[in-house]
Amino acid sequence: MHFPGIRFFVHRSSFAFCILHSALCNILLLCVSACLLPGLSCRRDQAYTPLYQPTPYAIAIPKFFPTTLNIPPDNPMTVEGIELGRYLFYDGRLSGRTEPDSLMSCCTCHLQSHSFVCGIDHPKFTGGHPFGLTCVLTPHFMLPMINLVWDSHGYLWNGKVSAVNPSPAMRNLEDVTWMAIVAPHEIHGDTARVAALFQSLKGYPELFTRAFGSSHVTVKNMGRAIAQFVRTLISANSKFDRFMLGKEHLTSSERNGYVLFMTEQGGDCFHCHGGEGNPLFTTNLFYNNGKDSLFTDPGDRLSVTGNPGDAGSYKAPTLRNLSFRAPYMHDGRFKTLDEVLGFYNSNLVWSPYISPLMHHIATHGIRLSPPQLADLKAFLVALNDSSFIANPAFARPLKFPDDN
């Protein structure tokens, strides 16, 4: 100790020393807090509320749904993160530009009314095939955004964005954002420019602070926020879901269709598209479902795994909300559900790459009668969830952070 006074007390009484010592420490602590910690108010008349106090958001897992969610530990779901993600998803300035004809964000192609595909009736994307800001067509048609928080096998038709991608920047939903910003067939932009633009937009830096504790806008945090929003896009309220919960009856045609869907001698759909015990209506795995005999797409599953057996294989999409999402398959070759059913019924093509789960290949299809096909279709239509496409929490925000 270097204070003469203190030495005096120490000599006199260790008790007095303790009191003085703790008092000094408290004063020191107060000084440090007041001077060093930014934002801690020195003024007594203002109640201090820190900006970064994220509110945890727990996904309510619907009954019968799997309990394993694909949420990385470094991006927990928060109310503030989801709110920011929703703004960004719908803000066309994600292109890094502000001119009306240069706007593009996720919502340009992923429309809620179509279960987040662009739809066969899109005024600009003829037949449902979107193109990017510089008019380059996307290599494949679209995938919907439904229940993606349960997909741990890989995103995109070929599953390239997955936990086993050698690049740590291509492993989860967080990463799809920068990929969309730079892809020539999407925004074809520049990540630094986008971050700088959002840094300059009133309201956004504060939202980044609330969500991530820093007002510094980065594309990484944009991706984290958008991924959080995308993980909330849950569909679990179709007629079939309500039937499973004992709240609604299926018609006899829908019930027959369900049985056909679930039996090998019938439609034999369940191996790849879920069903009883798997209400996602997909395994989220990759198969060649027998559409062709020659495979030339450089972006199929083979391009990701290098395994020759994966030629012509793609992710089996969920069968929820089919009525809102035509056209079908990675190349949009089928315009209606009837065309898809006609294909599975009698037009299967053999190749060495066809999935062994396509059990009816010897007869080129499942060979159901027209009434049976109608039943199967009725069941598929019972998987539509109109509350999903009407959910206001998934919709374009009424105002953006810099709107007055």
> What are the residues binding ligand HEC (CB under 6 A)?
104-106, 108-110, 130, 132, 138-140, 142-143, 145, 148, 155-157, 173, 176-177, 180, 186, 226, 230, 267-269, 271-273, 287, 289, 314, 316-317, 319, 322, 325, 328-330, 340, 344, 355, 357-358, 366
Q: How far is the CB of 235 from ligand HEC (least distance, A)?
A: 13
Sequence letter at residue 263: T
Q: How far is the CB of 149 from ligand HEC (least distance, A)?
A: 11
Nearer to ligand HEC, 9 or 375 (CB): 375
* 3-state SS assignment for residue 78: strand
Nearer to ligand HEC, 198 or 287 (CB): 287
Q: How far is the CB of 369 from ligand HEC (least distance, A)?
A: 14
Residues 6+ apart with CB under 8 A from 141: 117, 128, 129, 327, 329, 330, 331, 332
Helix count and strand count (H, E) for the chain: 15, 2
Q: How far is the CB of 123 from ligand HEC (least distance, A)?
A: 14
Q: How far is the CB of 170 from ligand HEC (least distance, A)?
A: 12
Nearer to ligand HEC, 20 or 305 (CB): 305
Nearer to ligand HEC, 280 or 322 (CB): 322
Q: How far is the CB of 353 from ligand HEC (least distance, A)?
A: 11
Asked if residues 52 and 31 have their Cβ atoms less than 8 Å apart, the reply is no
Nearer to ligand HEC, 9 or 217 (CB): 217
Cα separation values, 126 from 112, 118, 122, 137, 328, Å: 18, 10, 6, 11, 14
Nearer to ligand HEC, 9 or 320 (CB): 320
Burial group, residue 167, by CB count within 10 angstroms (0-12, 13-18, 19+): exposed
Q: What share of the chain is helix, strand, coil (3-state, %, to 5)?
A: 45, 5, 55
Segments in 41-109 forming alpha helices (H): 79-90, 106-109
* 3-state SS assignment for residue 390: helix
| Separation of alpha carbons 17 and 139, rounded Å | 76
